Amino acid sequence: MASISFFESLPAPSLSSSLPATNTSRLQTPSFSVPHLSPQLKHSSRIICNAQTTTAFAVSRRNAMVGLFSGCIATQVITHDRAFAEQSVGFREYIDFFDGYSLRYPQTWIQVKGAGADIFFRDPFVLDENLSVNISSPSSSYYKSVEDLGPPEEAGKNVLKQYLTEFMSTRLGVRRESNVLSASSRVADDGRLYYQIEVNIKSYANNNELAVMPQERVVRKEWDRRYLSVLGVENSRLYELRLQVPEDVLREAENDIRQVMDSFRVNKVTV
């Protein structure tokens, strides 16, 4: 059984996992066959497409942001559920033909370069709400199925361990509380098996870590975030879609987050 500890370096937290399926329209992307490309041409093999929009209401912060960025977005509704559509933002489609994956992301989010992931998008107003994709190295990993990670529950523990390793701090008085909220598997409409992991991590720290008297070191909560991962295997590589959202934002953003998760697909690349 393969270990999940291979993940490449990921974005720092400041830049910025069984999940219930929502009644959304899922993206089905066929396998891609592309000619061999040099690393210099990799950027040209990635496409960001305009997606379909939904009905927007000014009373919501997320829908208000849609009005700022929706000039080039089409008007077709991307869900069959009218009530759901009224609460959701529009989406764009991102396809990486070179590495072999695709997803949809909220149209108001922006891409961040040099964030340490294969791709990274974030909400321009809530910086701790973001997504990234990480892929195992083709030279150091050979996966046949996501089941190589063990059952979803075991994969969930390893995902959480990986997050905690990345969030290790050298500051005095820092404490983290974490737990796996759910771990499940599903077969998507492309016939592939995916794992979905959802964890919560809270960070606490002293307000005066160098104080001599204990009463002067007051512990406060720094942040409370939900981390959601979708794991898939193709091209002998392990792909992980990561989403991060503050817990106090999740209620408002959950519909959109679930749609992004459902849209993630890995695709066969033939060179």
51, 74, 88, 175 from 71: Cα distances, Å: 12, 9, 17, 44
In tens, the pLDDT along 174-224 reads 889 999 999 999 999 999 999 999 999 999 988 766 555 666 667 889 999
**How confident is the model at residue 125, as a pLDDT?**
94
User: Phi/psi class of residue 161: alpha, beta or left (left: φ > 0; alpha: ψ in -120 to 50)?
Assistant: alpha
Q: What does the chain come to in residues? A: 271
Confidence category of residue 114, pLDDT binned at 50, 70, 90: confident
Confidence category of residue 73, pLDDT binned at 50, 70, 90: very low
Q: Which of 27, 40, 75, 66 is nearest to 267 (CA)?
A: 27
**How confident is the model at residue 62, as a pLDDT?**
46
Q: Which of 78, 14, 61, 19 is nearest to 197 (CA)?
A: 19
**How confident is the model at residue 53, as a pLDDT?**
39
Query: Any bridge partners for residue 245, and if so which?
Result: 226
The residue ranking higher by pLDDT, 12 or 243, is: 243
The residue ranking higher by pLDDT, 187 or 36, is: 187
**How confident is the model at residue 116, as a pLDDT?**
85
How far out from the chain centre does Cα 113 lie? Answer: 16
Highest mean pLDDT among 16-30, 73-87, 227-241: 227-241
**How confident is the model at residue 3, as a pLDDT?**
42
Provide the whole-model pTM: 0.69
**How confident is the model at residue 61, as a pLDDT?**
41
Confidence category of residue 138, pLDDT binned at 50, 70, 90: confident
